[in-house]
Each structure stands twice: as structure tokens, then as C-alpha cells.
């Protein structure tokens, strides 16, 4: 049932129904009972978020080159390439438009945090100067998603510029820390 429902959401989003989509519509396209969809997901917000997270984070390899700069650059470009695609933008917009208030956290954000934490942890083990996970999220990931949701250009060059900015922050922080000792 899950794959049929995910495919139905993708089909409806692709047809431009992202803001008007209902659970009964999704169930009809998926060929399942609406009650089953309600029981499993409860609301369109929850369903859209799960589908978007699955679509936006599956199958991405986490770069491991022994150099944080290369890893962040590749990772940011992979994300930019993915969320820059029209169908991915539609998923993001659908997820955002389904929200009715503030949420504690988006699962997509949690996945990106875990990925950043893993890369930064490896870099720290190699004794590289590293930005914080929050700097990576706030200065690389957030701007990429912001651009995708609002229809601004998202490409490898923009991603590389964001990475360069974050790496400069890490260098400045490392220098300031060394100077205070």
C-alpha cells in the first residue's frame, strides 16, 4: 500500500494538485481504501511530509573522501541537483503548503543533521578545522531548500559558494579559538 500511495501522491503533485490534494483523491489514484490511508497517515500534512522526505533523501550517497571541503562540496551539489528538479520542488512546496502551524522539526532536517554530523565527526577525527553542524544546516542546507521552495536558482555553483562560506566560518572560528589560548 505504501508504494501505491507514494506513487499516487507523486502523480497528483505532478498534475498540479499539490495544494488541493485530499486523502480520498490519493486513495482513489492509489486504488486503496481512504480509511486505510487515514489510519496510516492521519492527515495530508503527515502524508506529504513522509512522501517528500522519502523522495528528497533516498539513495543519496554520503561522500567520504578524507577531506571535509570535498565532502561538503559534493554533498551540497548532490542536494542542489536533486531539489533543483521540478518534481522535487513540487514535493517541497506541497510539504510546506500542507503545514498549518509551527512544527518542532522536519524529518528531512533531521536526516540532513545526521549526515552533516557524520561528515563533521570524520573530519574532526582527522583533526581538520570544522564548522558546527548548525553552521552547515543554517548556511548550506537552509539556503538550498529556501531557493528551491521559492523558485530561485539552485545549482552546483550556488552550492559551492555556500560551502566556501561555511568553510571560511570554520577557519575564522579555529583561528579565534587558537588566539584565545
Q: How confident is the model at residue 126 (pLDDT cuts 50, 70, 90)?
A: very high
Digit-coded pLDDT (tens) for 72-110: 999 999 999 988 988 788 878 877 777 777 767 777 788
Rounded to a whole number of angstroms, the distance between the first and last alpha carbons of the chain is 59
* Alpha-carbon distance values, 76 to 6, 56, 57, 124 (Å): 26, 13, 13, 19
Domain formed by 63-179, architecture: Orthogonal Bundle (1.10)
Domain boundaries, the chain: 63-179
Digit-coded pLDDT (tens) for 6-41: 888 888 887 877 778 899 999 999 999 999 999 999
- How many Cβ atoms sit within 10 Å of the Cβ of residue 104? 4
Q: Is 109 left (phi over 0), alpha (psi -120 to 50) or beta?
A: alpha
Nearest to 141 by CA among 72, 88, 46: 72
| Residue 90, CB-side half-sphere exposure with 13 Å CA sphere | 15
pTM of the full structure: 0.76
Listing DSSP states for 89-157 in one string gives: HHHHHHHHHH--S--S--HHHHHHHHHHHHHHHHHHHTT-----HHHHIIIIIHHHHHHHHTT----HH
Place of cell 562540496: 73
Amino acid at each position: 500500500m505504501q508504494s501505491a500511495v507514494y506513487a499516487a501522491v507523486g502523480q497528483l503533485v505532478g498534475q498540479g494538485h499539490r495544494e488541493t490534494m485530499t486523502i480520498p483523491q490519493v486513495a482513489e489514484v492509489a486504488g486503496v481504501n481512504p480509511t486505510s490511508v487515514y489510519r496510516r497517515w492521519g492527515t495530508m500534512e503527515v502524508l506529504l511530509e513522509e512522501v517528500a522526505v522519502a523522495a528528497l533523501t533516498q539513495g543519496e550517497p554520503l561522500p567520504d573522501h578524507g577531506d571535509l571541503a570535498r565532502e561538503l562540496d559534493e554533498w551540497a551539489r548532490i542536494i542542489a541537483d536533486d531539489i533543483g528538479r521540478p518534481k522535487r520542488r513540487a514535493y517541497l512546496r506541497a510539504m510546506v503548503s500542507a503545514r498549518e502551524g509551527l512544527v518542532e522539526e522536519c524529518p528531512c532536517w533531521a536526516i540532513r543533521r545526521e549526515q552533516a554530523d557524520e561528515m563533521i565527526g570524520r573530519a574532526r577525527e582527522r583533526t581538520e578545522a570544522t564548522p558546527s553542524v548548525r553552521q552547515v544546516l543554517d548556511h548550506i542546507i537552509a539556503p538550498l531548500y529556501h531557493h528551491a521552495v521559492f523558485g530561485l536558482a539552485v545549482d552546483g555553483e550556488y552550492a559551492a559558494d555556500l560551502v566556501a562560506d561555511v568553510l571560511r566560518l570554520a577557519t575564522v572560528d579555529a583561528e579565534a579559538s587558537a588566539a584565545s589560548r
